[in-house]
Amino acid sequence: MTANDLEKELLSLIGKYNKLRNTFLLVYSAAISKPIPAISLDMDDYYIIYDLLRGNTSKKLDFYLETPGGNGVAAEEIVRFIRGKFDDIDFVISGEAKSAGTIMTLSANEILMTISGSLGLIDAQVRIGRSQVSAYDYIDWVKAKRTYAQRNRRMNPFDATMVAQISPGELKGVSNALNFAVDLVTEWLPKYKFRNWNQTETKKAPVTDLMKKKRAKEIVNELIDHGKWRAHGRSLKIDDLENIGLKITKIDDDPVLSDIVYRIQTVIKLLFKTTNVYKIYSTETEKIFANAASVDIPLPMVKTNAPDVVNINTKCEKCGKAHHLYAKFASNPKIDDDMQKQGRKKFPANNKLTCDCGFEIDLTGARNNFEAQIGKKIIT
């Protein structure tokens, strides 16, 4: 299948999903296997999702999510927006929805998962010195050293040296990063996931608000316990989640639904594999693809004798049209005259090249590479 065929198939499958579930499905998926920094969840995702959904009048939203995680504030913004717009929201997980993706998923009324789907831990990852560490592990280590010092009225020289390098501001920042996720999920679980939990399964006893908050806290404590799961990237499957008290709707129990969801997942993976697309935002009628541009540019290996201009050749992933651009690194008007006489267009100031077919090519990654290797900024 061509890229166009895959795009049409994706929209068709979303339509079938909507008809089967009587809902409105939004697909947001990032190409987790591609080594592109922009695959992480960020505020741009919030603005794009806002634009796709702002005119929607449906009361029910299903949110197909696949992400390695990213900005917790962006996750909060997306949830606040969709929660203010839709009455019921279910999250659909067939791939990975880690970290900030898990935080978003825990705002659902129902969580639908396939056997292949997984969530992750929600302990914040913070930068300490040159390393990225678990906020939970960091706070746990500090508490252990404090307890040791109080009990023994001393610390060993190594620990004393390490503790002496911790500032109150740094410690507070790590604590705030950890509590950010804890506070969100502790609020959202009772409010949405446990909204219709009115009696216990075994004794059929009434469920109180206090019981809902207690269960939420227990689940959160499990999901920040880096010591138990050993790795922030650990994949938590259906059984893992149900063992910590989180009820999951198993998509594989419904053959028709599971066939549609797995096919959506397969089509998305084929699009990622056969094109430069690294993020997909799609409904039944609209789609937005984020692309990492593939360019053919002779770049110098060293920054000495760097050129004043480079030629850039790229193709539209949708229609195949070739685009010939140039990027200049010197304030010389003659460069523009010469390049334009050759039929080349100037590198776009916003890094976005729009093809005649309407497809948008993102040249941000290419720009970063040029500037890093040549050692100068592109002049637009």
pLDDT in tens, 56-71: 999 999 999 999 998 8
- What residues contact residue 198 under an 8 Å CB cut-off, 6+ apart? 206, 207
Alpha-carbon distance 330 to 348, whole Å? 16
Of 280, 278, 250, nearest to 9 by C-alpha is: 280
Alpha-carbon distance 293 to 303, whole Å? 23
Alpha-carbon distance 133 to 163, whole Å? 16
pLDDT in tens, 353-372: 888 888 888 887 778 777 77
Of 347, 338, 350, nearest to 379 by C-alpha is: 347
pLDDT in tens, 109-167: 999 999 999 999 987 666 666 666 667 777 777 778 888 888 888 888 877 777 777 77
Letter for the amino acid at 254? Answer: D
Element of type H or E holding 176: helix 168-188
Helix pair 43-53, 72-85: axis angle to 10 deg? 10
Domain ranges of the chain: 3-120+235-291, 125-173, 295-374
- The domain made up of 3-120+235-291 has a fold known as 2-enoyl-CoA Hydratase; Chain A, domain 1 (3.90.226)
315 forms beta bridges with 322
Alpha helices in the chain (DSSP H): 3-21, 43-53, 72-85, 100-105, 135-152, 157-164, 168-188, 209-223, 226-229, 238-243, 255-274, 333-341, 364-374
Please report, rounded to a whole number, the percentage of residues in the chain having pLDDT higher than 70: 90
Contact (Cβ atoms closer than 8 angstroms) between residue 63 and residue 46: no
Contact (Cβ atoms closer than 8 angstroms) between residue 164 and residue 149: no
Tell me if the pTM is above 0.75.
no
Q: Residue written as tokens 């969709």? A: 82
